Structure 1
């Protein structure tokens, strides 16, 4: 990686490759917003007062119920509705990872974005029909969103020069971190002013508009784009000249299973999703337990870390590419550095939460830093598969995402059990468990991670399934 061709760089954020990254950023914002907004609207959708409250309807006008319909869904049904979208995402990952190396990424991402947006528009009507239909809609929406989040990585095989992979991928992936901040910031106001169905209508319409822009502006390969400048096209193509050909071959499954660098990336993904899920899902619970603030303050404080996480993610991408372009560090050192920052920093700040946070401000600062610093992984192990096997990046990203999601689902289950069984020392157990997983993962990664294309991912590889 250190001795790659260095053609004349086409500078400026007005280039098409940066435009593609920004467009993907907003696509990720909208699909994440469509996913997360239900977490907040559920408060307005469900009758959370006395179960006999439906007999007291005289206090509410017919217009109130048209604007904000209320349903009697039990907590276990709500949990199924919340989790259903993740089962759709999980189920589609590996099939999409394989197919993304065969079919048009433009069509796959655009069609899936449109489907997710249409389903978002349909959610309020599905809720009126019944809980079964809304669960089916959320599973289908998860499959559509899983297609967008997985297939988009294949785009960078042809569009991202090696010296710009960190910043381009961090720009688009930071959309997943910015979305919850936006949702927490605006959805409450939309529910109060326009009714909770408008949250789904607004984000659904936004997705449909983005879908139209996507189909007009995006092409799978820079050499086919009618508007890209000749200089930028030559720069991208020449930058990728020494990279293995992107022609599809049979997946070398046995070699992949024996690859310790790939296992290091997978374990890193598991630890990242465990940490991210813990901090994202249980931040409101922690704030409520430790700070005892009202729901509005809780929403603001819970959303604040997402903004800083987005900033840290963008910073990681810029810094990783700066170090590489200036030959300050080689690619392997850069990946190890940002992976270490992304997994160890949350551990440090979580320990500070337990032992050094003595007032409101210190708690908020340490909690925000613990959440935000996980984003440094965007410049590390989360894109390392593009370094070691660009030919199979889409498939490998899907596989590592599945392993990561297993970590996220396991984290939610285990954390819930700990909180219910040991209220007094639960947070100590939760954060020390996270620390053990992260330290184990980073140790394995530092020992076995690689930065160069692996032998099984080269042009001459003929291994069959």
Structure 2
């Protein structure tokens, strides 16, 4: 009976699908993509910028200031000191009040402190650290808000594609930011303008979001009625439906939740290690100049961005055609996205100990390690919505907040281990550690992850009844 009801509901949803190729949900998706593009640009431009900020030969203009700092890894880590704090609260705020105006406030403040970095740098590294902590605090609202908005706007059958498009703003922003920062650091205006321009871009996004952003289809006054009916029927949303209380105890006892958390911890450790340290590795070990450094640092993330669409299309196809269950598809995708990078980093660590030129091989392995990692977008990264669509924003807040503690630790471990920046042996230790953590996180996800909606997602059976009623209403 239940299977028949679901099949009938699926047919009705198909009939409700709008004929137009672009709708209100795509505008929201595009705005979130741009948000992550700018936010990640702000987050990572210091990875290349700090090379220019501490290198007197980086700019042709003697008027561009440079500094002598002994705590570069601490500066790069400090963003995450603030980033982990608001995550859980941000998920709850998005759930009960909607994320629109919280995103306005957080992006406004984050943009202003991005603009302040060149000014504060003159006071010392501690002032840059302060700016980065505040940037992290403000960006802590972004991922929980994106997950909440996806749960309100994106039908399940479009989840992998639109979800991947949104989160692909991260690697795309990384590509643009690393390339742009490397280029502008060698011009007469110098590295400060990398921060000024990104701060201005963030403020421009805020203005557009005020006019275009909506918390849900219900809040959208000009949405096509057929598109609204299609979205709400697909998601089982009704205007009268009460907000479900968060089942904290059940979440803590849930192995599928812990599987996502451990997978995200492994991902964040490896991703952050590469993101913050590739420019330093290229400069100190492979001897690339600042401009080439920026281009080569960005290259792997361009591949990441491109492959994310390939992997999401394959994953969506395998699920919708019944080739793989949702849970199996998530585990396969996550395994590809972590085990291939782990193998690449292991090989990079081995050849780093050898006494010959590893430049070409190292670049190829870095491209593979970062590029194939994009497959995790189809793994743990959207699994929150599979196991608990009612609490997806809160779950993302919890896992993103706790897992990014590793993003604080990884750069600090780097500073402790790599005491001689040109030492290939010390760098190989960093690569081995990242590879091991990738494998451990993915193993737990394979063993305990799930693609099924969990019982604790507040009365699954009642929500299914609501879905069926809503679909029948929308039909007429």
- 1:300 matched to 2:295? The reply is yes
Q: CA deviation at 1:300?
A: 1.9
Residue 155 of structure 1: aligned partner? 149
Q: CA deviation at 1:132?
A: 5.0
- 1:24 matched to 2:24? The reply is no
Residue 345 of structure 1: aligned partner? 340
The whole-number CA distance in structure 2 between the counterparts of 1:280 and 1:160 is: 29
Q: CA deviation at 1:122?
A: 3.1
- 1:98 matched to 2:106? The reply is no
The whole-number CA distance in structure 1 between the counterparts of 2:363 and 2:271 is: 17
The whole-number CA distance in structure 1 between the counterparts of 2:387 and 2:140 is: 23
Residue 369 of structure 2: aligned partner? 370
Residue 56 of structure 1: aligned partner? none
Q: Which moved more, 1:87-96 or 1:347-356?
A: 347-356
- Which whole-Å deviations, capped at 9, do the CAs of 1:89-131 have from their partners, x for residues lacking one? 1111122122221112111112211221222233333345665
Secondary structure of 2:279's aligned partner: helix
- Which whole-Å deviations, capped at 9, do the CAs of 1:390-410 have from their partners, x for residues lacking one? 111111111111232122223
- 1:259 matched to 2:258? The reply is no
* Superposed counterparts of 1:156-235, under 5 Å: 156-191=150-185, 192-235=187-230
The whole-number CA distance in structure 2 between the counterparts of 1:359 and 1:365 is: 10
Residue 389 of structure 1: aligned partner? 388
Choose the corresponding residue for 1:332, options 315, 327, 333.
Answer: 327
Cα gap change, 1:218 to 1:452, in 2 (>3 Å)? same
Q: CA deviation at 1:427?
A: 4.4
* Superposed counterparts of 1:276-295, under 5 Å: 276-288=271-283, 291-295=286-290
Residue 405 of structure 2: aligned partner? 406
- 1:310 matched to 2:305? The reply is yes
TM-score, length of structure 1 as denominator length: 0.86
**Contact 2:338–2:438 under 8 Å retained in 1:** yes
Q: CA deviation at 1:265?
A: 0.6
Residue 273 of structure 1: aligned partner? 268
The whole-number CA distance in structure 2 between the counterparts of 1:240 and 1:295 is: 48
* Superposed counterparts of 1:1-16, under 5 Å: 3=6, 5-6=9-10, 7-8=13-14, 9-10=17-18, 14-16=22-24
The whole-number CA distance in structure 2 between the counterparts of 1:284 and 1:147 is: 27
Cα gap change, 1:117 to 1:290, in 2 (>3 Å)? closer
Structure 1 residue runs of 5 or longer lacking an equivalent are: 50-59
The whole-number CA distance in structure 2 between the counterparts of 1:106 and 1:307 is: 29
Structure 2 residue runs of 5 or longer lacking an equivalent are: 462-476
The whole-number CA distance in structure 2 between the counterparts of 1:122 and 1:442 is: 39
Secondary structure of 1:75's aligned partner: coil
Cα gap change, 1:17 to 1:123, in 2 (>3 Å)? same
The whole-number CA distance in structure 1 between the counterparts of 2:280 and 2:55 is: 21
Q: CA deviation at 1:354?
A: 4.5
Q: Which moved more, 1:292-301 or 1:213-222?
A: 292-301
**Contact 1:339–1:380 under 8 Å retained in 2:** yes
Residue 418 of structure 2: aligned partner? 419
Q: CA deviation at 1:12?
A: 6.0
The whole-number CA distance in structure 2 between the counterparts of 1:12 and 1:427 is: 52
Secondary structure of 1:328's aligned partner: coil
Q: CA deviation at 1:356?
A: 7.3
Q: CA deviation at 1:48?
A: 5.2
**Contact 1:167–1:316 under 8 Å retained in 2:** no
Cα gap change, 1:130 to 1:111, in 2 (>3 Å)? same
Choose the corresponding residue for 2:82, options 88, 104, 108.
Answer: 88
| Corresponding pairs, count | 446
Q: Which moved more, 1:390-399 or 1:247-256?
A: 247-256
- Which whole-Å deviations, capped at 9, do the CAs of 1:332-368 have from their partners, x for residues lacking one? 1111111111111112222343557975433322220
Secondary structure of 1:452's aligned partner: coil
TM-score, length of structure 2 as denominator length: 0.84
Q: Which moved more, 1:289-298 or 1:143-152?
A: 289-298
Residue 238 of structure 1: aligned partner? 233
Secondary structure of 1:14's aligned partner: coil
- 1:451 matched to 2:451? The reply is yes
Q: CA deviation at 1:317?
A: 2.5
Secondary structure of 1:455's aligned partner: coil
- 1:37 matched to 2:45? The reply is yes
**Contact 1:163–1:324 under 8 Å retained in 2:** no
**Contact 2:69–2:125 under 8 Å retained in 1:** no
Q: Which moved more, 1:258-267 or 1:5-14?
A: 5-14
Q: CA deviation at 1:13?
A: 5.1
Cα gap change, 1:166 to 1:247, in 2 (>3 Å)? farther
CA RMSD of aligned residues (A): 3.1
Cα gap change, 1:207 to 1:361, in 2 (>3 Å)? same
